[in-house]
Amino acid sequence: MAELHNDIGHGINTYPPNKGVPGMAEFEFNNAVGKETKRLLKGKVNTFEAQPFDGRDIALITRTNQYNARWAKDKTSIGISNHANANGKKDVRGFGVFYWHTSPEAKKLAEIILDEYKKEFPGYPIWGTGLFPSVPNTWTNFHMCRETKGVFVLVEWEFMTNPDALKLLKSNDYRKRCALVNAKSVCRWYGIKWSEDKNPSQPAPKPITPNQKPAQAQPKPSGAYTGGSIVDYLNSIGVDSSAANRRKLAKEYGVSNYDLSATKNLELLNKMRNGKTATKPASKPAASPKPAAKKQTVHLPASAKTWRTYKLNVQPVKKNSDWSLTPSAFGGLTYDILGNPYSNVVTIMTGRGKRNIYVGPETGAVIK
């Protein structure tokens, strides 16, 4: 058996007073991610919600009692509690997962979710290392991790108190992709091969006769979806909407410097709707693809109170730094390396967009 305890954190009546920020109640984000997670897992893994979608808040102890009762009947069940984070400092942002400190199984699930998040959102900020043990008598002592008997984690997807992260959290595209991270992680946990169900109403392709060449498989514009989300559009025409496949489509349709941003997503959407690709026939047989280079990360140690950052269009010297990271506030910070423009200088994605930082050997930065 397989079951996800698909928790959405809070009820519809929790903001006001405190579970949200002007412009978004936390419930709105959590609820959307939970609903989409359930949809994506339909037919693969059963889901159960002790906090009903669109419902008033259910007490934590009531919810964990229900989850524990179901776990007692199926001890293979796991749980994910979805949240949007908050911090008094508006520049703090990033993704993190909490797990009970004595549970190696919960830590393993947290590691899977972090890995799937990095795959879906390459270069997006990670809060500290992205993994947080939930420990008694500390600020990490969360009820949902402590009181559940089974494998249970709590995910803080981003900080709604950060202006840039709030835009993401309000985005339908980001919410659906967060749910996709959940669904892929759950399937990976249970050893289920991930695949999104295609539209069953699409007619089966006609068989190809011996003398007939197969047509080039190109996504066709669809009249079913007219909105502005590339993910929703791809899903409506039965095409893989993952970040990796969108990068392939961007090359095929001539979208230069595709970085998964809203602007580039819209450019790709418009070109796909026009149905014109930029791919030219190859004059020579294509060479075998080279193995992808291993992605590197840089870790800024917790011992560093501040770490200067630089805009990409200035020299990375002290006088040109206009904003600093604060690794010590988060037990260290880890980022994917997006570029290496100068010796001992790397480019990372921060809460203020792409920035360069100096990572010379004397700084204590660790590159892996």
Which of 313, 351, 304, 342 shows the shortest CA–CA distance to 162? 351
CATH topology of domain 3-190: Aminopeptidase (3.40.630)
Residue 356 near residue 347 (C-beta atoms within 8 A):
yes
Look-up of token digits 């994506």: 40
Distance CA 351, CA 88 (A): 15
- Strands (E) located in 277-344: 297-300, 307-309, 323-325, 333-336, 339-342
Question: What's residue 156's pLDDT?
Answer: 98
Query: Both tokens of residue 330?
Result: 């988060």
Strand 126-134 with 151-159, pairing = unpaired
Beta-carbon contacts of residue 205 (< 8 Å; ≥ 6 apart)? none
List average pLDDT for each run of 10 residues in the chain, which is 368 residues long: 94 93 96 97 96 96 97 96 96 97 97 97 95 96 97 98 96 97 96 70 39 46 60 74 84 86 82 66 50 76 91 88 87 88 88 88 88
Report how far residue 155's alpha carbon sits from residue 187's, in angstroms, rounded to the nearest whole number: 17
Alpha-carbon Rg for the chain in angstroms: 22
Domain ranges of the chain: 3-190, 230-274, 297-367
